[in-house]
Structure 1
């Protein structure tokens, strides 16, 4: 019989936006006081300047507070079978001490969310994602000997990203960190703190994510901050991170696609084949999984309606919220994320297009941009071409050991 536990939530109406355990340090560093709501937490959008924070990601070490990322502990004799039933990839192939990027669907094969699945042992997992799905997980766990609990408030997390990140962690006492391969997990004791580190991140660069008990958060911050003083360590907000993730070609739930559970209109939901996640659909894995029949039929019958593509756009005006046209006349889709890329010196974007555009029809693409200049919008129709993702790729992301500094 399933052992299910639902943590009682704090009373949100008494505290509309919570502060993460790292907030005292971020508040002290903030010059803009630009905060935003991430999952009910007050999180930095920009601390000093977007440019300074972005270049810290690409040239030094950036610290980003990932505590609001929703975290679920999944453990018990049937933990592997449950995770395999829930997600698209073959969890049986995920070894202990490894992380798997994955997603999960409803019974109609529409994506509920994507995230990372951590496997600590044969019977202990952690699922990290953007949206809250506790009810879905508890319902899915019926019949499995597994305990599921949300532990978001219990665990504080920092993304430690950039070319000097490994060196900073070494200086902080994380001995052997340089031997970790991408998607490895390891537990360390540094500065008297128990820290779980994964070689993961959302920047497309060398980087790690460090997780501690909430009560040890400030001690971890201070340890890393002191170790990184000579290596350009910088606290960053989401604006800079969002630019880096776009360069890396990564997608964001409810930005590049709508979570199936929250979509108001059924036709706004997306399957993995429609958002570039077809590579993770393990239709041949031994265990059944949610949405398998629908996804098998979609692939066999070619009924996918849309495709997510990368675009290289003329000029230097970001095409945010723009429409995409074929031959400048027929509307075929829209931009989901766009920016001028400082590293690649390109005007890049992700776009959701109606098939066959972006699949068999890839020529003569145009983007309609409205640029605000001196309080007047100027309409521009500019050429675009479909390109491979990621827009930015650096060998240091996967180099083991990373280059020392």
Structure 2
């Protein structure tokens, strides 16, 4: 049975739709009002307020903390500066990805790891007597995401931290209405945004301060349905949708390496030993069988197909996590993993896993599409990701 997050008293009161999902054992709002559209528009035009407490969180402390994390992460944690946040992934000994998340360097010999899947056992298993402690703080720390072009103005209005000086993927300590918080310039929407972390006992006071202070800037509570569209536009992958955690895979073909899911840029090979290093070095030299790509559907072709049935395109208003076969020359060469109509781009876009020889920009492939229970194919073109990448995100 899912549990309420520390913000539940506020989110439940605002959730007029009564539509909820289960996220990592917690209740999470799907959308607050009659649909998610206004929440998505808040992400792109004002600001959306999202409860991200269900993320798994682990505090790693001790003089060997950086060395320990560097040994199990694909990224060299020694290079993460104080108050810097770094995106990383970790793999098994065969270089197959177990999970992805962030590493925050919050203080001397103190790091916080966030993850999509339970990771404590993996971390604790590799301590091996090092001068380091690993604590699961998932149930102790809550978090809010403020995402959108007005997010900076909102944080400046409610926080005593120097938000103007807070750069992309950096962290700072501060207070919001007297509540001690850690603010990171991070998020999952691909837009200007921040995440605010504090202890559970401060949750309601924090929510009231941020939501109340953001009203003049058009802040809206936002749920997971709007987030799913935004993260696809940003080209962000989702565990168990765009890839599977290797430890949970029953067959080898479901496992992926960082290079195969667009995370090769997080792998830093030229350093001391780390788990999966040899396999990843070999794959980088030999090449990967699969590649994660962005696809853009030929809308005119789709409309023409549907007109034959006297129907408009049947795509739905939200993101789809349904896998769709991809063909080239009648042969299946991949699959769509996530797709959505992008309201801001006015295009139907998708993330897909393609055989690497078909992953070059501009390559045309065929997506399976069903109309009135009859299967057809629609042309799609490999395009650069992120699909949406506003300058304000990093400025």
| 1:350 and 2:351 matched | yes
Residues in 1 aligned to 2:86 and 2:193: alpha-carbon distance in whole angstroms: 16
Pair 1:181–1:317, CA change in 2 (3 A): farther
**97-106 vs 272-281, which moves further:** 272-281
State the distance in 1 between where 2:161 and 2:131 align: 37
Q: Is 1:306 paired with 2:290?
A: yes
Residue number among 56, 81, 85 corresponding to 2:71 in the alignment: 85
d(CA) in 2 for partners of 1:336, 1:366: 15
- The alignment partner of 2:246 has SS state of coil
Q: 1:108 aligns with which of 68, 82, 94?
A: 94
2 CA distance for matches of 1:148 and 1:83? 11
Displacement of 1:149 in angstroms is: 1.1
Matched, 1:214 2:200: yes
Which of 246, 268, 277 is the aligned partner of 1:260? 246
Q: CA-to-partner distance for each residue in 1:109-151, whole Å, 9 max, x for gaps?
A: 0000000000012300000010001111111111311000110
Match of 2:327 in 1: 325
Question: What secondary structure, in the 3-state scheme, does the structure 1 residue paired with 2:358 have?
Answer: coil
| Alignment of 1:34 onto 2:19 | yes
- Give 5+ residue unaligned stretches, structure 2: 300-312
Matched, 1:384 2:384: no
CA deviations 1:57-83 (Å, max 9, x no partner) are: 001111111100000000001000001
Tell me what 1:293 maps to: 278
- Listed as ranges, the matches of 1:157-236 within 5 Å are 157-236=143-222
TM, length-normalised to structure 2? 0.92
1:365 pairs with 2:365: yes
**Where in structure 1 are there 5+ consecutive unaligned residues?**
1-15, 400-405
Which residue does 1:10 correspond to in 2? none
The one of 117, 124, 147 equivalent to 1:131 is 117
Q: Does 1:245 align with 2:231?
A: yes
For residues 377 and 220 of structure 1, the distance between their equivalents in structure 2, rounded to whole angstroms, comes to: 50
Match of 1:5?
none
Measured in 1, the distance between the counterparts of 2:130 and 2:91 equals: 19
1:240-262 per-position Cα deviation (integer Å, ceiling 9, x unaligned): 00100000011111110000111
Measured in 1, the distance between the counterparts of 2:10 and 2:103 equals 29
Give the structure 1 partner of residue 389 of structure 2.
Answer: 393
Residue 379 (structure 1) shift: 3.1
Query: 2:108 matched to which residue of 1?
Result: 122
**3-state SS of paired residue (2:90):** strand
Cα offset, 1:380, TM superposition: 3.3
Q: What is the CA–CA distance in structure 2 between the aligned matches of 1:69 and 1:174, rounded to whole Å?
A: 26
Please tell me whether the aligned partners of residues 80 and 122 of structure 1 are also in contact (alpha carbons under 8 angstroms): no
Instruction: Render the CA deviation track for 1:272-304: whole Å, top value 9, x for unaligned.
Output: 11111111211102x2111001111122233x2
Q: Give, in whole Å, the separation in 2 of the partners of 1:50 and 1:86.
A: 38
Q: Does 1:21 align with 2:6?
A: yes
Is 1:340 matched with 2:341?
yes
Which whole-Å CA distance do the structure 1 matches of 2:165 and 2:364 have between them?
Answer: 47
Deviation at residue 378 of structure 1 after TM alignment: 4.6
Cα deviation code 1:12-43 (max 9, x no counterpart): xxxx2110001111111111111111111111
Q: Which whole-Å CA distance do the structure 1 matches of 2:259 and 2:94 have between them?
A: 13
Distance in 2 (alpha carbons) for counterparts of 1:395 and 1:364: 29
User: 1:247–1:391: 8 Å Cα contact kept in structure 2?
Assistant: yes
How far does residue 364 in structure 1 lie from its aligned partner after superposition?
Answer: 3.5
Q: 1:300 to 1:42 in 2, by over 3 A?
A: same
Post-superposition shift, 1:354?
2.3
Contact kept, 8 Å, 1:61 with 1:231, in 2: the verdict is yes
Partner-residue secondary structure (3-state), 1:393: coil
Paired residue secondary structure (1:74) = strand
Aligned CA distance change for structure 1 residues 175 and 149 (closer, same or farther; 3 Å): closer
In the aligned structure 2, how far is the partner of 1:231 from the partner of 1:240?
A: 19
What RMSD, in angstroms, separates the aligned Cα atoms of the two structures?
1.4
How far, CA to CA, are the matches of 2:335 and 2:244 in structure 1?
Answer: 14
Deviations along 1:170-193, one digit per CA (max 9) or x if unpaired, are 111334212110011000022111
Paired with 1:93 and 1:102, the residues of 2 have a C-alpha distance of: 12
TM-score by length of 1: 0.90
- Structure 1 residue 362: Cα displacement: 6.1
